[in-house]
């Protein structure tokens, strides 16, 4: 019912201010098997030059790449307020030895990553091995220290009840963010999953006082998509979450579509 009510009043958020804010919470993402250092450098150069081309808009919040490109981003990125995010822990399957996952994340941090996005070990979670799933998250968080850990639930593989349980499990194990999807399976992010996860974050915050961030990712392409997730966060968690510290949009194509909307002309900058 809440989602229906949010959608019914979506015009409240359909404005220039919200669209501009959405630009500033994007994790600009390139996670392709065909990625090369030169392709990542081209993306970084566009981020470096963004303000000179679009001075009235905020830069993206982060650049998200595979861990082997962390050092590439670190060397080339000029705006040090933009976070360097990597997908770690044997993304997107999380199917390997824990020691391999831990080492991959540690190496990425050593090479410049500010944030690490890992996938909830579904091999344990779906088998009901919840302590084992929790332990993997705890061990990776311990290994990367103060670097932010985002835990991807892969909500498309979970029931609503499982999404709620996975959200609480990840937060209790030390996640700084919970994230919907890898973008590598369907369905990816959905408003229904977002609503469940935001309610879990609210419940966890009320119990512990600790704020955990939320990141929908996968299939978020249009300004309308962005506005809906913004509206869900605003409605469930409130304005304290409407900033890059606690809210991100994982996307590769969204930035151009937001700019197209804001500029009233086709923009293919990124």
User: Which residue do the tokens 């970084």 mark?
Assistant: 44
Cis peptide leading into 92, omega within 30 of 0?
yes
* Reduced 3-state DSSP string for the chain: CHHHHHHHCHHHCCCHHHHHHHHCCEEEECCCCCCCHHHHHHHHHHHHCHHHHCCCCCCCCEEEECHHHHHHHHHHCCCCCCEEEEECCCCCCCCCCHHHHHHHHHHHHHCCCCEEEEECCHHHHCCCCHHHHHHHHHHHHHHHCCCEEEEECCHHHCCHHHHHHHHHHHHHCCCCEEECCCCCCCCCCCHHHHHHHHHHHHHHHHHHCCCCEEECECCCCCHHHHHHHHHHHHHHCCHHHCCCCCECEEECCHHHHHHHHHHCCCCCCC
Question: Domain for residue 96, yes or no?
Answer: yes
**Is 21 domain-assigned?**
yes
pLDDT at 27: 98
pLDDT tens per residue across all 270 residues of the chain: 699 999 999 999 999 999 999 999 999 999 999 999 999 999 999 999 999 999 999 999 999 999 999 999 999 999 999 999 999 999 999 999 999 999 999 999 999 999 999 999 999 999 999 999 999 999 999 999 999 999 999 999 999 999 999 999 999 999 999 999 999 999 999 999 999 999 999 999 999 999 999 999 999 999 999 999 999 999 999 999 999 999 999 999 999 999 999 999 999 999
Catalytic residues: 117, 179, 215
Pairing relationship of beta strands 83-87 and 148-152 according to DSSP bridges: unpaired
In a domain, 171, yes or no: yes
Residue 40 lies in a domain: yes
pLDDT at 178: 98
Residue 73 located in a structural domain: yes
From 227, 118, 95, select the one nearest 170 (Cα to Cα): 118
Q: What CATH number is attached to the domain comprising 76?
A: 3.20.20.70
The pLDDT assigned to 266 comes to 98
270: in domain: no
In a domain, 255, yes or no: yes
Residue 266 lies in a domain: no
Res 49: pLDDT: 97
Closest CA to 167 of 217, 225, 125: 125
Q: What is the pLDDT of residue 214?
A: 98
Number of domains in the chain: 1
Structure tokens that stand for 157 in this block: 């593989």
Q: Which domain holds residue 222?
A: 2-261
Contact 181, 189 (CB under 8 A): yes
């Amino acid at each position: 019912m809440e989602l229906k009510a949010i959608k019914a009043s979506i015009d409240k958020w359909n404005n220039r201010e919200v669209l501009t804010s959405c630009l500033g919470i994007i994790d600009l993402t390139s996670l392709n098997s065909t990625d090369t250092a030169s392709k990542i450098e081209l993306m970084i150069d566009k981020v470096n030059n963004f303000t000179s081309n679009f001075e009235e808009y905020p830069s993206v919040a982060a650049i998200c790449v595979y861990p082997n490109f962390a050092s590439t981003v670190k060397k080339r990125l000029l705006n040090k307020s933009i976070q360097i995010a990597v997908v770690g822990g044997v993304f997107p399957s999380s199917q390997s030895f824990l020691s391999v996952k831990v080492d991959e994340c540690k190496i990425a941090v050593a090479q410049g990553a500010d944030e690490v996005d890992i996938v909830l070990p579904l091999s344990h979670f779906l088998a009901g091995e919840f302590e084992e799933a929790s332990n993997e998250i705890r061990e990776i968080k311990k290994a990367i220290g103060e670097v932010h850990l985002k835990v991807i639930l892969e909500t498309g593989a979970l029931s609503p009840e499982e999404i709620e349980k996975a959200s609480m499990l990840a937060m209790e194990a030390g996640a700084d963010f919970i994230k919907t999807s890898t973008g590598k399976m369907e369905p990816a992010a959905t408003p229904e999953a977002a609503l469940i996860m935001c309610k879990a974050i609210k419940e966890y915050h009320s119990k512990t006082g600790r704020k955990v961030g939320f990141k929908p990712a996968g299939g978020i392409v249009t300004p309308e998509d962005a506005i809906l997730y913004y509206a869900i966060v605003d409605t469930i968690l409130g304005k304290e979450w409407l900033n890059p510290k606690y809210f991100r949009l994982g996307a590769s194509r969204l930035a151009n579509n937001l700019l197209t909307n804001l500029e009233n002309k086709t923009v293919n900058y990124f």
